[in-house]
């Protein structure tokens, strides 16, 4: 009996669990997220629903937004008028099986019939065959990968739990706004009749979505169909990335999330993360800062980290190191005044001696007021250099080739700034004078950058 159970475990792992992990973590043979631009994708599962889908379509039309509907075939069969309206109003219609049942619980032939039956229903209503597929709950099995020539599997990058009414419109809005970024593929539901969902939940989703679309308009973001996002992504460097490099990026980003959790990093701008920070005691050798100040072992510092996921995305969107550097400069220029405001309002942060980080740079941070110092030789310096070289090979537009050029310049350095200087320089940015002064400094740096100089690439 134990042998039989063991074999069942092996088979189920090979058939279901391992493919699911590979697709979720590394995006293998599935589409999960777009890149760059000012576009994001709204996707809706489980419909159409006669009560909520018409209101959703009205809302999308009001804001000029396009979306992708992954419809359940049996629901589409009952409400063909809603499928016709989706199609007529320019939305993409995808497949979500004929019934909402996990692919792990069906044989490969049954899954194929579910897809084909739903595909035939969509074709019979719209005259077009759908080639985009989202398995229920996003659960893929081993044989789903073999359908690549017939359908494109689409998962998501942002899920909010909007099928539960206890989440409420306010909390759902907060979660959606926190993930309102270019390239995001948002998962929402326009039907609450699925097992485990609350029938009234789409009411709260519609309220949160309206506020999200209003904010998207303010930020200059727009919702597009998944197929348009895929076409744009296929033109990006990410689409040409080898599976080995994708694996490296996936593992690296998992480590990033673990690091943030372990060390309880806080984020300067949670809605669009770039700078993270934590308060701790300095443990290194004495470092001389500006204003005649020295940083000694035991002094309290605000340690800063650049968001590596953002660095990776910037790298994928940039055609050169100079363009990548300019993106980083602009984000630093935006986040440092916000950080100054946070520090000014938090007594424990304001009492810290310095803002501190480690970065692989040649020049750049000094334009923002940081002192740039050599990292003392030792095990920490060697490990940091090794880590940052891997990081740079991932985010740099030239990839690993960058490491072969001027490798002697790729050394980690300390960047530090007295907290008093942070507050003086950035605390009054809204006053105008210092804002213009700092913008001029950033402009000089942009003009001065070459492909051999890359500010950023901060270590953990």
Closest CA to 87 of 41, 130, 133: 130
Q: How confident is the model at residue 243 (pLDDT cuts 50, 70, 90)?
A: low
Q: Quick: pLDDT tens for 251-305.
A: 777 777 888 889 899 999 887 788 999 999 998 888 887 767 888 999 999 999 9
Instruction: Please identify which of the residues 75, 96, 189, 438 carries the catalytic annotation.
Output: 189
The mean pLDDT value for 405-432 works out to 72
Catalytic: 100? Answer: no
Residue 149 has pLDDT above 60, yes or no: no
Best-predicted range by mean pLDDT among 93-107, 323-337, 446-460? 93-107
| pLDDT top residue among 426 and 402 | 426
Catalytic: 276? Answer: no
pLDDT of residue 267: 94
Residue 247 has pLDDT above 70, yes or no: no
Residue 49 to residue 190: CA distance in whole angstroms: 7
Q: Quick: pLDDT tens for 81-104.
A: 999 999 999 999 999 999 998 877
pLDDT of residue 6: 42
Q: How confident is the model at residue 375 (pLDDT cuts 50, 70, 90)?
A: confident
3-state percent helix, strand, coil for the chain, nearest multiple of 5: 55, 15, 30
Q: Quick: pLDDT tens for 162-178.
A: 999 999 999 999 999 99
User: Are residues 177 and 271 in contact, defined by beta-carbon separation less than 8 angstroms?
Assistant: yes
Q: How confident is the model at residue 430 (pLDDT cuts 50, 70, 90)?
A: very low
For the chain, domains (ranges, CATH) are: 27-235 (3.20.20.370), 243-448 (no CATH)
pLDDT of residue 117: 96
Residue 246 has pLDDT above 90, yes or no: no
Residue 171 to residue 305: CA distance in whole angstroms: 28
| pLDDT top residue among 349 and 137 | 349
């Amino acid at each position: 009996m134990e042998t039989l159970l063991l074999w069942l475990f092996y088979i189920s792992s090979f058939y279901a669990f391992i493919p699911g992990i590979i697709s979720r973590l590394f995006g293998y043979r599935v589409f999960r997220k777009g890149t760059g631009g000012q576009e994001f994708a709204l996707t809706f599962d489980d419909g159409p629903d006669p009560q909520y889908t018409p209101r959703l379509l009205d809302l999308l039309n009001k804001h000029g937004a396009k979306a992708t509907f992954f419809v359940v075939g049996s629901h589409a069969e009952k409400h063909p008028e809603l499928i016709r309206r989706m199609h007529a109003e320019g939305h993409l219609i995808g497949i979500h099986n004929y019934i909402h049942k996990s692919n792990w619980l069906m044989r490969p032939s049954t899954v194929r019939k579910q897809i084909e039956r739903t595909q035939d229903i969509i074709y019979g209503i719209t005259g077009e065959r759908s080639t985009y597929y989202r398995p229920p709950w996003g659960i893929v099995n081993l044989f789903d990968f073999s359908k690549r020539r017939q359908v494109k599997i689409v998962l998501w990058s942002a899920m909010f739990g909007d099928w539960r009414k206890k989440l409420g419109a306010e909390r759902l809005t907060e979660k959606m706004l926190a993930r309102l970024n270019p390239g995001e593929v948002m998962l929402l539901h326009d039907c609450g009749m699925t097992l485990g969902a609350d029938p009234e939940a789409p009411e709260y989703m519609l309220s949160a979505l309206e506020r999200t679309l209003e904010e998207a308009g303010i930020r200059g973001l727009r919702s597009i169909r998944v197929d348009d996002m895929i076409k744009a992504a296929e033109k990006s460097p990410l689409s040409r990335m080898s599976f080995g490099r994708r694996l490296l990026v996936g593992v690296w980003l998992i480590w990033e999330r673990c690091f943030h959790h372990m060390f309880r990093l806080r984020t300067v701008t949670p809605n669009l993360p770039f700078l993270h920070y934590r308060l701790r005691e300095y443990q290194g050798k004495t470092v001389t800062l500006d204003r005649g100040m020295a940083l000694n072992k035991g002094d309290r510092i605000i340690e800063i980290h650049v968001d590596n996921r953002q660095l990776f995305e910037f790298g994928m969107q940039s055609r050169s190191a100079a363009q990548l550097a300019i993106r980083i400069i602009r984000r630093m220029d935006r986040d440092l005044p916000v950080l100054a405001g946070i520090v000014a309002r938090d007594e424990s942060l304001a009492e810290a001696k310095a803002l501190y980080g480690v970065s692989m740079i040649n020049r750049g941070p000094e334009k923002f007021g940081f002192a740039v110092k050599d990292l003392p030789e030792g095990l920490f310096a060697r490990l940091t250099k090794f880590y940052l070289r891997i990081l740079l090979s991932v985010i740099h537009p030239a990839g690993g080739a960058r490491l072969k050029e001027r490798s002697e310049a790729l050394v980690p350095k300390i960047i530090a700034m007295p907290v008093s200087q942070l507050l003086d320089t950035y605390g009054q940015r809204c006053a105008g004078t210092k804002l213009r002064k700092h913008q001029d400094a950033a402009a000089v740096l942009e003009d001065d950058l070459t492909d051999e100089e890359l500010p950023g690439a901060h270590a953990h």
